[in-house]
């Protein structure tokens, strides 16, 4: 197992190229199941979650070739529409194969994902949607067994917003008979990226990016080529890192419109941000002001920024409140940040953070992906040496994280843990 070792206290400075988006690439790769023809994808990030999904798809018969970030996926024939527990338990996004499998083959057997470190994360909204489209669903031995001779268009109103639920339903509806209308749909940019690929494959979709998406089913989808959007969560993580360490940087390759809520908040805490032709320029605040956030679905403040923002607020000049509204248990980083000298109390869904003059390096443990990122940022800003364990959580969603920070001037390296 690896650990990341950081000698903190160096300003981040320079330019960082933002990688392809994990949360756009995953549903888009799953969409390859919808057609017998090939899907060629560029800007696919080199991440553990991407490898996990490609193993899952290969197990079903999808032929996959990867050459320097450009992937060719072809599901000529789906031999086994089955997503086994061993792969699904390591990555909840595996549930994204359910819609495409059901639409293409009329059956699917997908392990229930179960809980994870950030909360219970049920899939009831996905399953209710498929039932409304005429699927017969049974839960047996920890698996979802789904069958549908042919899915039918339906009006599906999500009780609450779900990102992968919207994506799953949108993919399934592309091959259904008739029209599907998704109400209270997720508006995340990754949903729009998926809709764009599906449209290139011949799907008829309108309204992606709004809360009502209409999909008119077509008999077949065909080949397409597509470039995955850049990762807004990775970009935001770097922007917050600069605010914590001092310095200035330009994040290249991402449209700033996807970071509206975060950029507004970073300006509120004193950062100077400029949207330039080459990317997003940020200069760290001289004093980090305190400001509250509440996580919300897009275009609100993303839950995927909550942990990193909390790390930033540990160094603010006052008291700030961070309220997590999406995942009930996404607070595992609090205890780890406290090991580095942070002053945080949790009351229900709200963390109360009293800023401290500085953090102190310590051995800590990543408990999930974004919690891990928050510890890297804390380590970069802290006095002294930090060791971050369970780096595999971070590798699920950040491409070459230590190399990118090293290029910006950080003293950060990855080493093997000897037990």
Number of residues that bind ligand EPU (CB under 6 A): 23
Separation between Cα atoms, residue 167 and residue 122, nearest integer Å:
16
With a CB cutoff of 8 Å and minimum separation 6, the contacts of 151 are 102, 103, 130, 133, 134, 135, 172, 173, 175, 176, 177, 217
Q: Find the binding residues for ligand EPU in span 158-177 (CB under 6 A).
A: 160, 162-165
- Examine residue 258 and tell whether it contacts ligand EPU (CB under 6 A): no
CB of 120 to ligand EPU, least distance (A): 6
Question: Which positions from 19 through 38 interact with ligand EPU, judged by CB under 6 A?
Answer: 23, 26
- Residue 151 and residue 102 in contact, taking contact as beta carbons nearer than 8 Å: yes
The residues with which 347 forms a beta bridge, in sequence order, are 350
Listed in sequence order, the residues at least 6 apart from 111 whose beta carbon sits closer than 8 Å to its beta carbon are 83, 84, 85, 87, 88, 89, 94, 142, 143, 144
Closest among 283, 184, 290, 193 to 232, alpha carbons compared: 193
Minimum CB separation of residue 399 from ligand EPU in Å reads: 13
Binding segment toward ligand EPU, per CB under 6 A, in 38-46, 51-59, 102-110, 124-132? 124-132
Name the residue nearer to ligand EPU (CB basis): 15 or 159.
159
Q: How far apart are CA 385 and CA 147, in angstroms?
A: 54
Regarding 138 and contact with ligand EPU (CB under 6 A), the answer is no
**SS3 category, 157:** strand
Residue 336 near ligand EPU by CB under 6 A: no
CA-nearest of 9, 84, 23, 72 to 304 is 23
- Residue 327 makes contact with ligand EPU by CB under 6 A: yes
Q: Pick the piece of the chain touching ligand EPU (CB under 6 A) from 61-69, 145-153, 155-163, 403-411.
A: 155-163
- Ranges within 386-415 binding ligand EPU (CB under 6 A): 397
Q: How far is the CB of 247 from ligand EPU (least distance, A)?
A: 26
Least distance (Å) between residue 366 CB and ligand EPU: 12
Helix (H, G, I), strand (E, B) or coil at 293: strand
- 47 touches ligand EPU (CB under 6 A): no
Q: How far is the CB of 388 from ligand EPU (least distance, A)?
A: 16
Calpha distance 89→220 (Å, rounded): 31
The reply to whether 326 sits near ligand EPU by the rule CB under 6 A is yes
Would you name the residues annotated as active-site residues? 116
Q: Of 64-72, 80-88, 120-128, 332-340, which part binds ligand EPU (CB under 6 A)?
A: 120-128
With CA atoms as reference, report the closest residue to 258 among 85, 55, 23: 23
Does 125 contact ligand EPU by CB under 6 A?
A: yes
Q: 95 with 101: CB under 8 angstroms? A: no
Structure tokens belonging to residue 111? 């392990």
- The residue within the footprint of ligand EPU, chosen from 104, 109, 265, 370 (CB under 6 A), is 370
Q: Select the span of 117-125, 275-283, 340-348, 406-414 touching ligand EPU (CB under 6 A).
A: 117-125
Nearer to ligand EPU, 126 or 389 (CB): 126
Per CB under 6 A, contacts with ligand EPU among 350-369 are 369
Task: Tell me if 93 contacts ligand EPU by CB under 6 A.
Answer: yes
Residues 145 and 98: their CA atoms lie apart, in Å, by 10
Angle at 142 between CA 137 and CA 146, to 5 degrees: 20
Indicate the pairing of strand 272-275 with strand 224-227: unpaired
122 touches ligand EPU by CB under 6 A: yes
229 scored as a contact of ligand EPU (CB under 6 A):
no
Which residues lie near ligand EPU (CB under 6 A)?
23, 26, 92-93, 119, 121-126, 160, 162-165, 303-304, 326-327, 369-370, 397
């Amino acid at each position: 197992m690896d650990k990341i070792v950081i000698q903190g206290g160096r300003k981040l400075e320079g330019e960082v190229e933002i990688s392809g988006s994990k949360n756009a690439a995953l549903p888009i790769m799953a969409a390859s199941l919808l057609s017998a023809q090939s899907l060629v994808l560029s800007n696919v990030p080199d991440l553990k979650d991407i490898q996990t999904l490609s193993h899952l798809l290969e197990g079903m018969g999808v032929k996959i070739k990867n050459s320097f970030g450009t992937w060719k996926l072809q599901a000529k024939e789906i031999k086994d529409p089955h997503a086994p527990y061993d792969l699904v338990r390591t990555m909840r996004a595996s549930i994204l194969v359910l819609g495409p499998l059901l639409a293409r083959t009329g059956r699917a057997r997908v392990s229930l994902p179960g809980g994870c470190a950030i909360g219970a994360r049920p899939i009831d909204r996905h399953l209710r949607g498929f039932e409304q489209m005429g699927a017969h669903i049974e839960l047996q031995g920890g698996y979802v067994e789904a069958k549908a001779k042919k899915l039918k268009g339906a009006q599906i109103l999500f009780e609450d917003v779900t990102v992968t639920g919207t994506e799953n339903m949108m993919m399934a509806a592309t091959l259904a008979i008739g029209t599907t209308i998704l109400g209270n749909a997720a508006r995340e940019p990754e949903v729009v990226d998926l809709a764009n690929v599906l449209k290139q494959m011949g799907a008829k979709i309108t309204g992606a990016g709004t809360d009502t998406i209409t999909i008119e089913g077509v008999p077949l989808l065909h080949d397409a080529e597509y470039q995955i959007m850049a990762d807004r969560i990775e970009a935001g993580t770097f922007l917050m890192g600069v605010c914590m360490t001092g310095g200035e940087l330009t994040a290249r390759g991402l449209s700033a419109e996807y970071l509206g809520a975060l950029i507004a908040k970073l300006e509120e805490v004193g950062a100077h941000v400029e949207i330039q032709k080459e990317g997003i320029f940020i200069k760290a605040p001289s004093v980090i002001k305190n400001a509250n956030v509440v996580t919300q679905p897009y275009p609100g403040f993303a839950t995927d920024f909550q942990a990193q923002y909390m790390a930033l607020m540990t160094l603010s000049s006052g008291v700030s409140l961070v309220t997590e509204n999406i995942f009930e248990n996404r607070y595992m980083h609090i205890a780890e940040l406290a090991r580095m000298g942070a002053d945080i109390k949790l009351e229900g869904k709200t963390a109360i953070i009293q800023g401290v003059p500085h953090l102190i390096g310590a051995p800590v443990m990543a408990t999930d992906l974004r919690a891990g990122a928050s510890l890297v940022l804390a380590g970069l800003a802290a006095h002294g040496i930090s060791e971050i364990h369970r780096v595999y959580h971070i590798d699920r969603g950040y491409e070459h994280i230590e190399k990118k920070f090293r290029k910006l001037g950080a003293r950060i390296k990855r080493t093997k843990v000897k037990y």
